[in-house]
Amino acid sequence: MRIAFPHMGNAYIPLRALVESLGAEAVVPERPNAETLKRGLLHAPEFACLPFKVTLGDCLNALDRGADTLAMVCGMWACRFGNYGRVQHMILKDLGHEFDSVLIGRENVGEVAEKFRSGLGPGVFRRLPGALAIFRCKAAAVDEMERLARWARPREEKYGSTDALLFRYLDLLDGADSLRQVRELRGSFRDELLSRPLDGEDGVTRIRLVGELYVLLEPSLNCDLLRRLGSVFRVEAHPVLSTYRWLLGPLWLDPRIQLHGYRARRRTRPYLPYVLGGEEHMTISGILDARRQGFDGVIHAYPLTCMPENICRTVIPSITARTRLPHLGLCFDEHTSPAGVETRLEAFLDLVRDRRRIQTGGLGEQGDVMAGDVSAAAAAGGGRYPLCRSGAGG
């Protein structure tokens, strides 16, 4: 079996380990770029949400690379994501591509198991515990590395040094083939990152990031939001969602994820007494807790036609007005341009910092980011996520 799956942030690292430990070959397409989006746009329904279009382009790229099996999670959410896999695979088959579909959902576990057994032989179930162990270990390592990088970026002395280190270690992690190697890499990344000289805390702003999962986690789609916030705007960004949570939650490999989700649903019941199907409870609970957890503002990122997050948009202003927390809504579609996002971030962060300066009775000047600095730094950065460099449309 030559199995492919669409990109979402650095999820390809644990997913590749899982697939290869089961005895199959993992086909990882190139990172989404302007061409990927163009291919997805050509064949996707116009009204479909942006993640659908990008992941459809990803599937086409994977088929070009020789994938014979496309895997997709489906049927677990009430929003459109529940039908992504089925509809995408129908479109691809209509286009004449031949492949096996593995649609992973609650209702067809037996069917999926049978596909793997017939493709990889009966030994696949014997290899499963080891495969899940390395999958979990790599997911946790990616999670920790990303978390440390988000903390270090706004404090780095040399622009881009955190990302250079992060990308080097992510590549090493992708190639690691034992639990011991993964743990060693995790430790040496931590040591190397924390032993570097830092620029101090002056001007570092803490922002909570909420919104739709794919837009929050896929840098090619969100104009490299997390990296830009950290390295360009000196913002310590805290997304409420992570690849780790998305990968391990449905498999029940970490009970803390379920507990966290349960708490979020209970906390948001007065605002959303029902399930909308996306990450709406995490969005609302993330905003409700932001003031208490010391954040200076909130950024809400979502795709244009996203049903759960658009419902959240109607709730958020009343919460942020009551908690007196500045918030910015960033809507992404195929016409979103990096320059537009940057301008909004600049204006929003000016406001956040002014508020904080007033509240604290004056703060150092380092927090101010001038437009010239931003463009120069942004031009120097990027490189790994081509969609946001070339612009996604306009």
Interface residue list for ligand SF4 (CB under 6 A):
49, 51, 79-81, 212, 214, 278, 303, 306-309
Nearest Cα neighbor of 150 from 217, 221, 237 is 237
Minimum CB–partner distance for residue 41 and ligand SF4 (Å): 15
Q: HSE, CB side, 13 Å, CA atoms: give it for residue 255.
A: 0
Question: Please, which residue, 133 or 311, has the CB nearer to ligand SF4?
Answer: 311
Least CB distance to ligand SF4 at residue 77 (A): 6
Least distance (Å) from ligand SF4 to the CB of residue 279? Answer: 7
Residue 278, token pair as written in the block = 């996306």
Closest CB 282 distance from ligand SF4, rounded Å: 11
Comparison of 81 and 295: residue with beta carbon closer to ligand SF4: 81
Distance in angstroms (rounded) separating the CA atoms of residues 213 and 239: 10
CB of 43 to ligand SF4, least distance (A): 17
d(CA 326, CA 304): 21
Nearer Cβ to ligand SF4 (305/337) = 305
Cα gap 239→312, rounded to integer Å: 16
Closest to ligand SF4 by CB, 19 vs 306, is: 306
Q: Tell me which long-range contacts 364-368 makes (C-beta under 8 A, separation of at least 24).
A: 364/202, 364/203, 365/203, 366/202, 366/203, 366/234, 367/202, 367/203, 367/204, 367/205, 367/234, 368/203
The token pair that represents 19 in the structure block = 């697939």
Q: Which amino acid is at 103?
A: L
The Cα 348–Cα 216 span in angstroms is 18
CA distances, 12 to each of 102, 173, 179 (Å)? 17, 11, 17
Whichever of 41 and 307 has its CB closer to ligand SF4, that residue is 307
The smaller minimum CB distance to ligand SF4, of residues 322 and 335, is found at: 335
Q: How far is the CB of 256 from ligand SF4 (least distance, A)?
A: 23
